[in-house]
Structure 1
Amino acid sequence: MKLAEALAERAEAARRVEQLRARVVGSARYQEGETPAEDAAALLAEAGEVLDTLETLIRRINRTNAAVRMGPGETLTDALARRDTLRLRHAVVTAAADAAAGAGGRGRQLRSELKMLSALPVAELRAQADALAREIRETDVRIQRVNWEADLLD
């Protein structure tokens, strides 16, 4: 099985667990004299089985991510950490540019109101955000390529 297939299975298992959780919660109590819509104990047992499968998948994915090389001195885990940090950095820079540009704020209503000035260079921040977005896309493409090339480890 390829790593990308395991990632898809992991996502599906996580969705299944969430669906089962919601069904267990909905069936955990019922009114006296009525029958519950579903057997909460059976749903809970099924959720346990799916969680066991999910744990195995996560362990194998993590082992694979730590072992697969993206390049000299870089594992897939390193690339994932880099992508996550780039996304956070992009969000911070974009938020700073939006705030400095006055996005979401209102302009002066009256001449007597104080004029707001930008404390940050908006154009430079937007250019930096664009460069970060490009780096995120490039990193993500590299990660996706490896996901479809790497075999899942046991």
Structure 2
Amino acid sequence: MKLANALSLRSELQTRIRQLESRLDNNALVQEGESPAEDPMELLRELEEDYAQLEELIARINRTNSTTEAGEGGTLSDLLARRECMTGRLRILRDFLNSASAVVNRRTVGEIRIRSAVNVRELQKQVDRDAKALRELDETIQEKNWTTELVEL
């Protein structure tokens, strides 16, 4: 199985587990003399099976990521950590730029002038360069996902 397929399966399992949680909640209580729409014990059994499968899959994905060389960037795990940090940094910078470039309208000449505390144009150029680097990093990660076989436990 390719790593990309394992990642897709992990997402499906996580979705199924969330659905099972909702179904369990919906069948936790019933009116006296009535039966639940679904057997909660059967749902709990399915939940246990799905979590066991998810745990094995996550372990295989993590082991694959930590052993897959990704060139000069280190392992695939290293690239994933870099991507997560770059994504968080870019989100903060974009939010900051949005605030720094906001136009504050004055109604009278006597009102206090508000100006940006940073050079928005230069910072935007940096954000654009960082966004391009993030896209390239993500492409590298995606390529590895589609070409790397998942390791066995």
Shared fold (TM-score, shorter chain, > 0.5)? yes
- 8 A Cα contact 1:13 1:50, kept in partner: yes
CA distance in 2, matches of 1:108, 1:44: 62
CA distance in 1, matches of 2:34, 2:65: 50
Q: Which residue of 1 aligns with 2:25?
A: 25
Percentage of identical aligned residues:
42
CA RMSD of aligned residues (A): 1.4
Unaligned runs of 5+ in 1: none
Unaligned runs of 5+ in 2: none
CA distance in 1, matches of 2:109, 2:4: 59
- 8 A Cα contact 2:73 2:79, kept in partner: no
CA distance in 1, matches of 2:81, 2:33: 54
SS in 2 for 1:69: coil
CA distance in 1, matches of 2:61, 2:92: 29
Say how many residue pairs are matched. 152
Letter of the 2:149 partner, please give it: D
1:129 paired residue among 106, 127, 139:
127
Q: Does 1:80 align with 2:80?
A: yes
Runs (4 or more) in structure 1 with deviation over 4 Å come to none
**Deviation digits for residues 69-95 of structure 1 (CA, Å, limit 9, x no counterpart):** 010460000000111111011111111
TM-score by length of 1: 0.93
TM-score by length of 2: 0.93
Q: Which residue of 2 aligns with 1:90?
A: 90
Question: Residue 54 and residue 97 in structure 1: after superposition, are their counterparts in 2 closer, same or farther (change >3 A)?
Answer: same
Question: Residue 35 and residue 113 in structure 1: after superposition, are their counterparts in 2 closer, same or farther (change >3 A)?
Answer: farther
